[in-house]
Structure 1
């Protein structure tokens, strides 16, 4: 029996013996695993480079490179070093079992095979692997959280302290126009940090499962208009044209209003941040089967392919500066991704340097 966590995992069987392959393939297929086959160590390495499995069953005795050498090579490869490898060995072959652990294996199964034992060992190591992955993501979440607090919020408060000190200790040195300018800078900084705190708190609640998903029928035009109105001052301050190409009563979605508002607001704010004065940012939509695809398109600075690949990954440390020297943390995009996926949708980005970017996310259509 497969645990819920391990269900749907991919397992690579590496053995040059057709009988062994047939027996193991039958066990795994019956239980619902996706199964790949290789008949040599070299073929296994090539298969892993094409499509890394979640776990490998590796025979010790094979022509060419044996199981131990295959294991060592896989453990030297960044793509496969963390994949658990279970050796297939003969009963009472203690020397090979020890050698297998030294090569990097995590366990062994013995011939002749016992179906219950094979599945129990596979399931145990897949569960451990999933837990390790969850722990890694948890640590990355914690690191991201503290990085934002330590650097972004601290930096913002430092700037506010400088401005407030000027007003508190040297107000008589400034005329009313200069004082108004200082106050405006303080206000802009506070607004930006308030948005950051909102995202930070929403993200923290999502991690803890404290945000409920409450979908309802929504008119997408109304949502788009509300967010354009919210961000029109930012657009005007940068002389950017903000356009809603969605027509009233055209796109109805079945989505959580707060989550969808948060996604749209973050994506438009992000587009404005990286668009030059006299540029444009637009929001549009299209039907995609049972979903509506909502796109925020800008004529901004665009992104290199390397940055594009890292956008929605929590462990990535991307530092891009907006066209008016605005700072970002990448937290807004992580929040958008989690909220889109929580609603059963997806999010992705397309971009070209100096030509602009398009961020698209999907939400279920209202029947």
Structure 2
């Protein structure tokens, strides 16, 4: 029998329904256990209010407290008041066990102390079991609701973490796509630059080469030996310069892909200008236009050779293009301004209106990638010029009036001096 009792207590402990019995009479405690034992509750006994408080210091998760009202030293009302002073114990229902009549004042005092019900001694077993069952069932339901709430909170937390993870992945993917988009834009820009450089830096020398070869082929029998030698010299020099520029462009395209294309160096300005003008003289000659280099021979700049050549040839080509045939001059001048050198490419051509000047360097004006002679604007070439000048830390502007010519002015850094200590 003792073995079965121990087993039952073990099972009740596992059920989690704990009841604290408080009465100064051991027989009363035993009677309550006997009546309630079949329901598989776990009982804790206390024979005084102080002992009950000591138990509650160690155990807090009781389903119910059955508390005798009349006890020595500390009665049930005082004990209940002290129990409910602790926040963690306020949710435990207390049923008072009393041998007195249900006087209104006593009942009021009991409820004021925190009681949820009264049971009179000697108690009716069925009534005791019934009332205890009500509160233990309520405890089970509250415990179930609490567990469900905890599960719901855990699920919400998992969903929140999942959502945060998805948002993070979306953000990372967005950043990745933005990076790829920027790379694509950079590749497209490099492609546009490369095509524009080919268009402006190679097409005009090729035009000169073709014009000389056509004259030589068409008028070979009529030309004097000196003229034949002149055209042959033009073809030879231009061909070599085109080959040199083509090799430079191939290397430049490779460096663009590797993002190492900007390589400034100290350059003798007059020499660089002469090399570019030589490639354009035949184009100018066909329109009876003179190209003049009025730059001082002792002036140096610190610039990327290919970019500077492209800037200069673009601007001179445009000057030739918009200067009417029959006599005109395109002049290149330069002057030192603080740490920069300001160059001016001036023509006495058709000029341009204020509206045209305002939109000159805009993307809207880049009407044609290859800059054909039919376009009204200056095309992608000027966008490339602006980009190359900005890469050097310089500025570009234009001064022009209709029928009075145009002057493009841009700045390039001066030669850098290396001090030797």
Band the TM-score falls in, shorter-chain normalisation: 0.3 to 0.5
- Greater length-normalized contact order (CA 8 Å, ≥ 6 residues apart): 1
- More helix by proportion, 1 or 2? 2
